[in-house]
Amino acid sequence: MERVRVSANVFLPMPVVLVGTRLDGRANFMPAGWCCRANLVPPMLCCGIHRAHATTVGIRENGAFSVNVPSSEQMVATDYCGLVSGATTDKSGVFEVAYGELGTAPMIADCLISMECRVVEIVSLPSHDLVIGEIVGAYADPSVVRNGLIEMAAVDPLLLTMPDNTYWGLGEERGKAWAAGRSLMVE
Amino acid sequence: MERVRVSANVFLPMPVVLVGTRLDGRANFMPAGWCCRANLVPPMLCCGIHRAHATTVGIRENGAFSVNVPSSEQMVATDYCGLVSGATTDKSGVFEVAYGELGTAPMIADCLISMECRVVEIVSLPSHDLVIGEIVGAYADPSVVRNGLIEMAAVDPLLLTMPDNTYWGLGEERGKAWAAGRSLMVE
């Protein structure tokens, strides 16, 4: 295969989440595309957030944040939260707000899945804070829970590709993980 | 909306990548579902990898690793790499291997996109290493490059949901980011 060198600024296709924080005493939400699990037990995730965002102030002040998974139906409101800054615009009324056990991590009651997280560590990278949080509570709409487990496809989550800045739905099922490759195993 | 408390062990739908390392002098690859960008300038990404994986040994020994984006067509070989450990199985022949400027980060020449990364920092979490790497080189097949930029949809990447352990393709386009929400902005 022929390959060419391209800009190192490559973006993976990522799930879109809304990060919730308390800012000046009210709830604030920003969409984030750089969020993934970081540890299995206890469950932790990490989010890369540009320090220019007011969200990083809220996370540092409260030591807590939430991660909410919007469905495709919530694309417009989700995108809006990325167009205006919590430093100048009150976004607390965009979604219905709910609090869990932490009390300082506003979650979005309208989202099918929300997680409240306690900050474990913040790694200061040149432009971004890599915020590592322990998921201390998770909440879901019963319609996306089957036998106690979350069925992510039922959430109809948004994926984001860059630099074409496009939102996508989850596509067709392609196979099963830890199973599809068995045909290559030597008996 | 009614919501119920669920296990905090929630997984976001994630892109599937293959992490390449040198292990005992040969190339080794493992699929990873916990990988995302961490910093914009310079470009960095992070991967959460269980310390039980031989890959973490290779990353620590070489201070380098690669991140390769398989297409759906490569699902079986990708999944196979997650079923057998590099500690006991030589996986260096599963894909064609290529090296870039680092020399110690084996990339997959068969993948449409590869990145070679220099380790910036490894955050030791309870079960996982959160490996932060600077992307020092990126390589792509010309078929997925348009005007110098990567068109991720053309890669036909795999997404992974857990705990149902299912691979998905990227679905339908839903809208444009930093644009779809403009209708909610006050003039």
Of A1, A83, A109, the CB nearest to B3: A109
Q: CA geometry: angle at B125 spanning B119 and B129, to 5°?
A: 35
Contact at CB, A141 and B3, closer than 8 angstroms: yes
| Res A55: pLDDT | 96
| Res B186: pLDDT | 79
Q: Is the pLDDT of residue A16 over 80?
A: yes
Contact at CB, B1 and A80, closer than 8 angstroms: no
Whether B137 and B52 have beta carbons less than 8 Å apart is answered as no
* Burial (0-12, 13-18, 19+ Cβ within 10 Å), B140: buried
Tell me how far apart the alpha carbons of residues B185 and A30 are, in angstroms, rounded to a whole number: 15
| Res B148: pLDDT | 87
Of A50, A123, A140, the CB nearest to B121: A123
Tell me how far apart the alpha carbons of residues A32 and A158 are, in angstroms, rounded to a whole number: 11
Please, what is the end-to-end C-alpha distance for chain A in angstroms?
A: 31
Contact at CB, A3 and B140, closer than 8 angstroms: yes
Tell me how far apart the alpha carbons of residues A64 and A134 are, in angstroms, rounded to a whole number: 9
Mean per-residue pLDDT for A9-31?
Answer: 97
What are the tens digits of pLDDT across the range A130-146? 999 999 999 999 999 99
Tens place of pLDDT per residue across chain B (187 aa): 689 999 999 999 999 999 999 999 999 999 999 999 999 999 999 999 999 999 999 999 999 999 999 999 999 999 999 999 999 999 999 999 999 999 999 999 999 999 999 999 999 999 999 999 999 999 999 999 999 899 999 999 999 999 999 999 999 999 999 999 999 997 5
Whether B134 and B43 have beta carbons less than 8 Å apart is answered as yes
What are the tens digits of pLDDT across the range A76-96? 999 999 999 999 999 999 999
Q: Is the pLDDT of residue A187 over 70?
A: no
Domains of chain A: 14-184 (2.30.110.10)
Contact at CB, B38 and A48, closer than 8 angstroms: yes
Q: b/e per residue, B36-70, with b = 16+ CB within 10 A? A: bbbbbeebbbbbbbbeebbbbbbbeebebbbbbbb
Tell me how far apart the alpha carbons of residues B148 and B159 are, in angstroms, rounded to a whole number: 24
Can you name the residues that pair with A168 across neighbouring β-strands?
A: A159, B173
* Burial (0-12, 13-18, 19+ Cβ within 10 Å), B26: middle
Sign of CA dihedral A95, A165, A143, A104: negative
State the DSSP string of chain B. ---EEE-S-----EE-EEEEEEETTEEEEEEES-EEEEETTTTEEEEEEETTSHHHHHHHHHSEEEEEE-BGGGHHHHHHHHHS-TTTS--TTSS-EE--SSSSS-EETTSSEEEEEEEEEEEE-SSEEEEEEEEEEEEE-GGGEETTEE-GGGG-B-EEETTTTEEEEEEEEEEETTTGGGGGS--
Q: Which two tokens stand for residue B169?
A: 């393709």
Contact at CB, A168 and B169, closer than 8 angstroms: no
Q: Which residues in chain B have Cβ-Cβ distances shorter than 8 Å to A15?
A: 12-14
Whether B115 and B83 have beta carbons less than 8 Å apart is answered as no
Q: Which residues in chain A have Cβ-Cβ distances shorter than 8 Å to B176?
A: 165-167
Q: Is the pLDDT of residue A120 over 80?
A: yes
Contact at CB, B181 and A83, closer than 8 angstroms: yes
Q: How many angstroms away from the CA of A46 is the closest CA of chain B? A: 9
Contact at CB, B171 and A175, closer than 8 angstroms: no
Can you name the residues that pair with B122 across neighbouring β-strands?
A: B131
Q: Which residues in chain B have Cβ-Cβ distances shorter than 8 Å to A102?
A: none
pLDDT bin (cut points 50, 70, 90) of residue A1 is low
Task: Express as a percent the part of chain A with pLDDT over 70.
Answer: 99
Sign of CA dihedral A70, A73, A79, A85: negative
Tell me how far apart the alpha carbons of residues A158 and A17 are, in angstroms, rounded to a whole number: 8
Q: How many angstroms away from the CA of B88 is the closest CA of chain A? A: 13
| Res A186: pLDDT | 79
| Res B6: pLDDT | 96
ipTM metric: 0.96
A157: helix, coil or strand? Answer: strand
pLDDT bin (cut points 50, 70, 90) of residue A62 is very high
Tell me how far apart the alpha carbons of residues A12 and B152 are, in angstroms, rounded to a whole number: 8
Q: Which two tokens stand for residue B80?
A: 């196979």
